[in-house]
Amino acid sequence: MLRWLRSEKTRRFWFLCGTCVCMGAHAEPFAFVPNMDDSTVSVIDLASDSVVKTLAVGERPIGVTVANDGSKAYVASLVGRSVSVIDGRNLGVLITKPLDISPKSIAVNSTQSRLYVAGRRVPVSQTHFGNEPAVLLVLEANTLALLAEVPLENTGGSNVAVSPDDSQVWVTQGSYAVAVVDTARNAVSQVITVQAGDLSPLTFGADPLVAYVAGSSNLIAVDVSSGLPKFQNTHMMAGRGSSGVALSADGERAYLAREGLGLDVYDLHDQKRVSFVRTGEHPSGVALHPDGSRIYVVNETEDSVAVVDAKTLAVVNTIRVGKQPVGRGRFIQPPKSGAAVAASVASVRKPWIWNIALGVIALLAVFLVLRVFRSR
């Protein structure tokens, strides 16, 4: 028995077991935070809330989106005029594609077949935006091949979001308008005037027929169930403009990254502000953990990401990242909905279930290996 335990085959077996355990430890999703000044992306393991990798991408990355299943992240680089695709499992850059625009925002559809990149055609020698033509590029999400171009207003392209059914792409245009793009025709079907002022983030939530648009003073819900969008509710906000918005999976709460405040929390059902959490002076994005247990706020001037407990609304951790991080877009895969959320939360609250399951699996693996060795 001792000879078997000391054998080379046994050592290899335990090495493989350890490798499998380590791989299982990284089953948690990741956050992908672009750092503009560093031209990098900080990869945060949400299991440990720590940076596990830093990836080089195009110059001054500004927009980011993560696939629904977390398998890929897409990063748009403003000055680098490129899009980079990151493997969400192996945490490496798969491809970087040069563009003929300076991209400002990016979104991927639910099937990961189409990537939408909004920006402007700024001359290479020009270092600032003027009245250059704005455009929405439609790319094949895997190869980044150009499929179509959708002209926008000159002031368009700051933020982009795809509807849950992939039928529409919404792009903010200036301070008071949103262009709605029909994905079947790759053309603007209508332009919605939104009296919010200084429009920034927009998103779709649990209800696929309701879009949320945030501005300097309002968070507006827009009913898109009919041909003509209808403004459903207006949630008044105090303080300065917003730079990011995220919704809980059940559609009950909205979390906004607010200039000068940090995180603002709203009850969408009761239409009232619940609380605010000071995370930093210049937040540049917000996203939820897929199980809804924590909220992540990117702090641009503090070079950090604040972690907020969704239940207590207290800052429980601060993660140091690169220089001038931005969270424009969905930098974490979206929360699960319905029963999936309940199951996920239950698994977090009852880790002993997983411990028993892993123990049983380990015992079975040892039993099978012993049989193999004895048969030889």
Query: pLDDT tens digit string along 204-213?
Result: 876 777 787 7
Q: What is the pTM of this model?
A: 0.80
Could you tell me which residues are beta bridge partners of residue 316?
A: none
Q: Find the domain containing 89 and state its range.
A: 41-193
Please give the pLDDT value at position 157: 64
Among the candidates 193, 216, 238, a domain finishes at 193
Above 80 in pLDDT, residue 233? no
Q: Is residue 223 part of a domain?
A: no
Please give the pLDDT value at position 59: 95
Q: Cite the DSSP H helix spans in the chain.
A: 2-6, 8-25, 339-349, 351-375
Query: In this structure, are residues 302 and 280 in contact, taking their beta carbons and an 8 Å threshold?
Result: yes
Query: Residues 110-169: pLDDT tens digits?
Result: 999 999 999 988 766 555 555 678 899 999 999 999 999 999 886 666 789 998 889 999
What is the CA 125 to chain-centroid distance, rounded?
31
Among the candidates 163, 193, 223, a domain finishes at 193
Please give the pLDDT value at position 14: 47
Q: Is residue 53 part of a domain?
A: yes
Return the CATH number at 65: 2.130.10.10
What does the DSSP 8-state code read for residue 130? -
Query: In this structure, are residues 53 and 90 in contact, taking their beta carbons and an 8 Å threshold?
Result: no
Q: Is 254 exposed, middle or buried (0-12, 13-18, 19+ CB in 10 A)?
A: buried
Indicate the average pLDDT of the chain: 80
Above 60 in pLDDT, residue 352? no
The tokens describing 193, both together, are 């005037």
Q: Is residue 181 part of a domain?
A: yes
Provide the pairing of β-strand 328-330 with 61-66.
parallel
Please give the pLDDT value at position 141: 95
Q: Is residue 372 part of a domain?
A: yes
Residue range 262-276: average pLDDT?
86
Please give the pLDDT value at position 270: 82
Distance CA 43, CA 32 (A): 5
Comparison of pLDDT for 31 and 237, the residue scoring more: 31
Query: Residues 279-308: pLDDT tens digits?
Result: 988 898 999 999 999 999 999 999 999 999
Q: Is residue 34 part of a domain?
A: no
Q: Is residue 118 part of a domain?
A: yes
Question: How would DSSP label each residue in 58-126?
Answer: SSSEEEEEE-TTSSEEEEEETTTTEEEEEETTT--EEEEEE-SSEEEEEEE-TTSSEEEEEEE---TT-
Q: Of the ranges 13-22, 57-66, 210-219, 367-376, which one carries the lowest mean pLDDT score?
A: 13-22
Distance CA 47, CA 320 (A): 16
Please give the pLDDT value at position 345: 32
Confidence of residue 355 (pLDDT cuts 50, 70, 90): very low
What does the DSSP 8-state code read for residue 278? -
Among the candidates 193, 218, 238, a domain finishes at 193
Q: Of the ranges 4-8, 113-117, 338-342, 364-368, which one carries the lowest mean pLDDT score?
A: 338-342
Q: Is residue 318 part of a domain?
A: no
What does the DSSP 8-state code read for residue 133? P
Q: How many domains, in total, are found in the chain?
A: 2
